[in-house]
Structure 1
Amino acid sequence: MEADDERVRRFVELRRRQQGVFSRAQAVAHGIDDGVLARRCRNRQIERIHQGVYADFTGPLPWSTRVWAAWLACGPEAALTADTALRWHGLSGDWQDSSIRLAVPQDRRIDRRTGIRITRHQDFRSWLLPGREPHLVRLEIAVLTAAASRVDPDRRAALVLDACRQRRTTPDRLLAELTRLPRLRGRTALLQILTDAATGVQSFLERIYLTRVERAHGLPTGDRQVRAADGTTVNYRDVEYLPHGVIVELDGRAGHADASSTWRDMHRDNAATLHGKTTLRFGYQLVTDPCAAAGQVGAALALRGWPGTITPCSPTCSLGGEFSRRRWRVSGAIPGKPS
């Protein structure tokens, strides 16, 4: 009798740990046969989620329950990957979790199951994070495979940079992992994103500025995440053109919406002005009109001695023609106005 009570207790604990999910094999191991499972399904005491996998409750399934159910249906030679793994690792983001994403060895064949997406990999075992259930790929693998699944290059970059900004990984660690994934889809684009991140780019908006404003229009290369101390306060400037005293701050929606952040930004800009520096601030208009931002930054740099020339980014660039050929000097020429 005590042995039966202990078996029941272990089965209850197993289901609790697995978010209410159990497999047929687990039920049989704890003394519950197929007849009992069928009867409890008919009485709506349990619910079958996949073939051979049940939940000990009925109704809507939480995301964590669906993850356990998918892994029990496809495991144990399966591991959470891509968006599913990122969410399980605890990263914040707009994860694509309508389907549970699992990786399996290349030679593994699994029948299609509703709500589960399977990818096969030759180097599957080297991806795993040891000692975890459900099995889980390492964070860097999850970031790279999730990014590779994005068709939109901007979303791909945003995902990689957000993972680094949350300080759960670094560009160097991701670059090292990428060298071991020669067949990863979009590998060349990911290499460029990570190279930019290694220079100090920390957000999607910062990379838009680097690629579509600074590089595309021939502006000088700024220093990124420049440490600036003001008494006991330490700030980091997104981009600073140190020889010319021009600062560019890039304000995305996150981190700049509340009153304290707004005051912090104003204090930082005012401190820079008191030290004789000019601050230009841009938001998401960079995505739709990078040329206008390039014109303003180029004009500010020219007023402070930059001898360069803005290069139009395309035949339709608003900085083309006579405007692009003008070499702005400290004389005070303003783009768009007569000298």
Structure 2
Amino acid sequence: MEERSGESFGELRRRQAGAFSRGQAVAQGITDKVLRGRRRARQVQRVHTGVYVDFTGPLPWETRMWAAWLSCGPEAALTGTTALRRYGVAGDWRDERIQVAVPHSRRIVPKAGVVVTRHRHLSSLVQASREPPTVRLEVALLVTASAEANVSRRAAVLFDACRQRRTTPARLLAELDSLPELPGRRILRRILAEAAEGVQSLLEQAYVRRVERAHGLPRARRQVRAVDAGAVVYRDSEYSPYDVLVELDGQVGHADAADRWRDMTRDNAAATTGRLTLRFGYRLLTEPCLAASQVAAALHLRGWPGTPHPCSPTCPIPQ
């Protein structure tokens, strides 16, 4: 990254969380001999070959991030969970290593605490206005989801970002087309198709797959906007022709008494307009057939002419 016009070496280091490259030091007239002397005096420490920080002791995450990027060169860009942390996306980002993308033609010597990936046409994926350069938010989300070994974790990364209103399924699907070599694209596309239907959590995904589709129930509308007592709410699943609502209580948003009271108030408000609300929690994951039979019974009560079917030979729903 080039120095800003009129920027002092001290200002550059502060902007880079204390990190600087040998090239940046030389540009300021600081020779290798001076750098060696400052290292001996414990005024600076070397993090990677040709990259230093202007203090000793443990390195904060932001300093490690700048040092990793400087060590990979100006064509590099932050990616994966490192990029998501820079964008401020909330999530369980367990990997503390710094993830950096470089052009496919580059070969980078392995560095401690740094994960380097190579990308074709990297420049087209980068939001260069950020410092340091960072792949676009949607690219970072897709790369992070693709790297998860567990399919549920892949879905959680994408669902959570959409629920936080950081992006949309449509934007993620469009970006997926720019990553033809990304592993697991078929699974990611299926997850995003469900997100586009309004699925926003793993519990909602389980309801759609294991309750609704697996048992031949009609397709509900997802995340239906409504106004109750002047407040905007979103119904998880609404079977509009039959005035049946299904609400799913996951871990997010249902943690305390105030949340439960809000849910009860919302259900009661729906009842006053003639709508029937069924509510399920995480037991749905182990008893999807029971949930399906209850939803089917509610739909029949409200005039659904269809018949649910068993999801397997051991399903209690009759043929």
Normalised TM-score (structure 2): 0.93
Query: Of residues 27, 32, 35 in structure 2, which corresponds to 1:34?
Result: 32
- Establish whether residue 142 from structure 1 lines up as the match of residue 121 from structure 2: no
CA distance in 2, matches of 1:20, 1:205: 44
Aligned 1:75-114 pairs, distance under 5 A? 75-114=73-112
Q: Tell me the amino acid that sits aligned with residue 232 of structure 1.
A: G
Aligned 1:218-237 pairs, distance under 5 A? 218-237=216-235
CA distance in 1, matches of 2:71, 2:82: 16
Partner secondary structure for residue 25 of structure 2: helix
Aligned 1:275-314 pairs, distance under 5 A? 275-314=273-312
Residue 52 of structure 1 corresponds to: 50
CA distance in 2, matches of 1:307, 1:197: 28
Partner secondary structure for residue 284 of structure 2: helix
Residue 15 of structure 2 corresponds to: 17
**Alignment root-mean-square deviation, CA:** 1.9
Q: Tell me the amino acid that sits aligned with residue 248 of structure 1.
A: V
C-alpha deviation, 1:128, in angstroms = 0.7
C-alpha deviation, 1:283, in angstroms = 2.0
Moved more, 66-75 or 26-35: 26-35
**Larger Rg belongs to:** 1
Moved more, 22-31 or 156-165: 22-31
CA distance in 2, matches of 1:122, 1:307: 54
Partner secondary structure for residue 243 of structure 1: helix
- Establish whether residue 131 from structure 1 lines up as the match of residue 125 from structure 2: no
CA distance in 1, matches of 2:308, 2:35: 73
Q: Could you tell me which runs of 5 or more consecutive residues in structure 1 were left unpaired when the two chains were aligned.
A: 1-6, 326-339
Moved more, 15-24 or 194-203: 194-203
Residues 245-268 of structure 1: CA deviation (Å, up to 9, x unaligned) = 221111221222134322221110
CA distance in 2, matches of 1:45, 1:268: 61
Normalised TM-score (structure 1): 0.87
Aligned 1:143-292 pairs, distance under 5 A? 143-292=141-290
C-alpha deviation, 1:108, in angstroms = 0.6
Question: May I ask how many residue pairs the two structures share in their alignment?
Answer: 315
CA distance in 1, matches of 2:313, 2:27: 71
Question: Does the CA-based 8 Å contact 1:80-1:134 persist in structure 2?
Answer: yes
CA distance in 2, matches of 1:130, 1:299: 55
CA distance in 2, matches of 1:63, 1:311: 53
CA distance in 1, matches of 2:152, 2:284: 13
CA distance in 2, matches of 1:94, 1:268: 30
Moved more, 96-105 or 135-144: 96-105
CA distance in 1, matches of 2:138, 2:234: 26
Partner secondary structure for residue 185 of structure 1: coil
Residues 29-85 of structure 1: CA deviation (Å, up to 9, x unaligned) = 222222222222233222211111111122222111111010000021110111111
Residue 331 of structure 1 corresponds to: none
Cα distance change, pair 37–291 in 1 and its aligned pair in 2 (3 A): farther
Cα distance change, pair 32–287 in 1 and its aligned pair in 2 (3 A): farther
CA distance in 2, matches of 1:194, 1:89: 21
Partner secondary structure for residue 68 of structure 2: helix
Partner secondary structure for residue 161 of structure 1: helix
C-alpha deviation, 1:215, in angstroms = 1.2
Give the share of equivalent positions with the same residue, in percent. 61
C-alpha deviation, 1:233, in angstroms = 2.4
Q: Tell me the amino acid that sits aligned with residue 283 of structure 1.
A: G
Partner secondary structure for residue 324 of structure 1: coil
C-alpha deviation, 1:18, in angstroms = 0.4
Partner secondary structure for residue 277 of structure 2: strand
Question: Does the CA-based 8 Å contact 1:309-1:324 persist in structure 2?
Answer: no
C-alpha deviation, 1:308, in angstroms = 2.5
Q: Tell me the amino acid that sits aligned with residue 201 of structure 1.
A: V
CA distance in 2, matches of 1:123, 1:167: 28
Residue 3 of structure 2 corresponds to: none
Partner secondary structure for residue 242 of structure 2: coil
Q: Could you tell me which runs of 5 or more consecutive residues in structure 2 were left unpaired when the two chains were aligned.
A: 1-5
Q: Tell me the amino acid that sits aligned with residue 92 of structure 2.
A: D
Query: Of residues 318, 321, 324 in structure 1, which corresponds to 2:318?
Result: 324
CA distance in 2, matches of 1:182, 1:60: 39
C-alpha deviation, 1:231, in angstroms = 4.0
Moved more, 67-76 or 115-124: 115-124
Query: Of residues 61, 64, 67 in structure 2, which corresponds to 1:66?
Result: 64
Cα distance change, pair 63–324 in 1 and its aligned pair in 2 (3 A): farther
